[in-house]
């Protein structure tokens, strides 16, 4: 449960039944518009650099975007033995695409973002995040992911759900029916990933999310990474697959990743190996 207050000097987000607030001091408001789907704001902040808000909620900041984008891109890329086709639903900022295009074996990356304006605003204000969108393997598709997924069966090797909170038009991305369609769109070794909130502040929401995933996928695992702009920072992510375990590296990728990881800000293979060793509270909340 969140509520945002866009004041003159501070951006504040209240959460955990409005009993906690995180606030970032604003230098200036760089952009504001109402798209067909949502309010889009770009703030320049002292602590985070640029900060993208959708309907007043924090989506991406210069300072910590690398955490989210690198874990979403490189974890599945190190696991899948024959990665060709990737689908990202949401993620109009382009950050996850930027990480996937670093992997030469990938042949096609579909970015299905319902709100074309998020993509355009990101191109203007987050040029580093969107730098992968010009890669010839990338198809930017301004469409509804819930509909798009139904038109593909046994096609994508990896599907990333990079959406806003489960409210309004994004609610369809959190239903068990949707996870079934994602499952069917995946190839036999398919992997799905999604962000799954803060276990210290959203215990019950997370429980039901992971229960839904387990009803569909034989392998459901979780890991954590800090997101300064999300409520309570201690953020969890889900890894679900038709069988591949999240620490079973594709051995042939190791030499390549040994070079690539030197240029990354968060991801490395050592971290990846330890990331699925969960604390007790993380285990009990997610059931992983």
Q: Are 60 and 227 in contact (CB under 8 A)?
A: no
Residue 237 sits in the site that holds a copy of itself (CB under 8 A): no
Under rule CB under 8 A, how many of the chain's residues touch a copy of itself?
45
Report if residue 16 touches a copy of itself, rule: CB under 8 A: yes
Q: Does 257 bind a copy of itself (CB under 8 A)?
A: no
Beta-bridge partners for 58: 53
Q: Which residue(s) pair with 42 in the sheet?
A: 31, 52
Residue from 32, 134, 151, 277 in contact with a copy of itself (CB under 8 A): 277
Nearer to a copy of itself, 50 or 272 (CB): 272
69 and 97 Cβ atoms separated by less than 8 Å: no
193 φ/ψ angles, rounded to the nearest 5 degrees: -135, 150
Q: Which residues contact 258 (CB under 8 A, 6 or more apart)?
A: 269
| Cα 15 from Cα 21, distance rounded (Å) | 6
Nearer to a copy of itself, 181 or 272 (CB): 272
Which has the closest alpha carbon to 121: 51, 188, 177? 51
Sort residue 78 into left (φ over 0), alpha (ψ -120 to 50) or beta: alpha
DSSP β-bridge partners for residue 207: none
CA distance 158 to 143: 19
Question: Which of 39, 63, 84, 207 is the binder for a copy of itself (CB under 8 A)?
Answer: 63
Q: Which of residues 6, 29, 171, 200 is near a copy of itself by CB under 8 A?
A: 200
For a copy of itself, the closer CB: 164 or 224: 224
Interacting residue with a copy of itself among 1, 5, 18, 208 (CB under 8 A): 18
Nearer to a copy of itself, 122 or 224 (CB): 224
For residue 2, state whether it binds a copy of itself (rule: CB under 8 A): no
By the rule CB under 8 A, 232 interacts with a copy of itself: yes
Q: Which stretch binds a copy of itself (CB under 8 A): 39-47, 83-91, 140-148, 208-216?
A: 39-47
Q: Is 82 in the site for a copy of itself (CB under 8 A)?
A: no
Q: Which residues have a catalytic role annotated?
A: 162
The reply on whether position 177 binds a copy of itself by CB under 8 A is no
At 137, phi and psi to the nearest 5?
-80, -10
Decide the pairing of beta strands 186-195 and 108-112: unpaired
Task: Report if residue 225 touches a copy of itself, rule: CB under 8 A.
Answer: yes
Residue 72 has, within 13 A of its CA and on its CB side, a CA count of: 30
Residue 142 touching a copy of itself (CB under 8 A):
no
Q: Which residues in this chain contact a copy of itself in the complex, by CB under 8 A? A: 10, 16-25, 45-47, 63-64, 67, 200-201, 224-226, 228, 232-234, 261, 264-268, 270-281, 283
């Amino acid at each position: 449960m969140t509520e945002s207050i866009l004041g003159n000097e501070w951006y504040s987000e209240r959460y955990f039944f409005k009993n906690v607030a995180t606030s970032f001091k604003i230098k200036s408001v760089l952009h504001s518009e109402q798209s067909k789907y949502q309010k889009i704001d770009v703030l320049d902040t002292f602590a985070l650099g640029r900060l993208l808000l959708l309907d007043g909620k924090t989506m991406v900041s210069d300072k910590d975007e690398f955490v989210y984008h690198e874990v979403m891109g490189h974890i599945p890329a190190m696991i899948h033995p024959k990665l060709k086709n990737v689908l990202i639903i949401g993620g109009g900022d382009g950050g996850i695409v930027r990480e996937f295009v670093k992997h030469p074996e990938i042949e096609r990356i579909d970015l299905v973002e319902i709100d074309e304006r998020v993509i355009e605003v990101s191109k203007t204000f987050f040029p580093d995040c969107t730098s992968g969108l010009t890669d010839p393997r990338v198809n930017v598709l301004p469409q509804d992911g819930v509909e798009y997924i139904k038109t593909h069966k046994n096609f994508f090797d990896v599907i990333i759900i990079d959406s806003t909170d489960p409210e309004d038009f994004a609610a369809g991305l959190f239903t068990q029916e949707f996870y079934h369609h994602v499952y069917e769109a995946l190839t036999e070794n398919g992997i799905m990933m999604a962000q799954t909130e803060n276990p210290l502040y959203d215990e019950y929401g997370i429980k039901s999310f992971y229960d839904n995933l387990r009803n569909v996928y034989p392998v459901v695992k979780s890991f954590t990474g800090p997101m300064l702009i999300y409520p309570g920072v201690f953020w969890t992510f889900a890894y679900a697959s038709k069988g591949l375990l999240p620490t079973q590296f594709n051995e042939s990728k190791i030499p390549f990743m040994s070079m690539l990881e030197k240029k990354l800000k968060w991801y490395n293979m050592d971290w990846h190996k330890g990331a699925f060793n969960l604390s007790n509270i993380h285990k009990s909340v997610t059931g992983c």
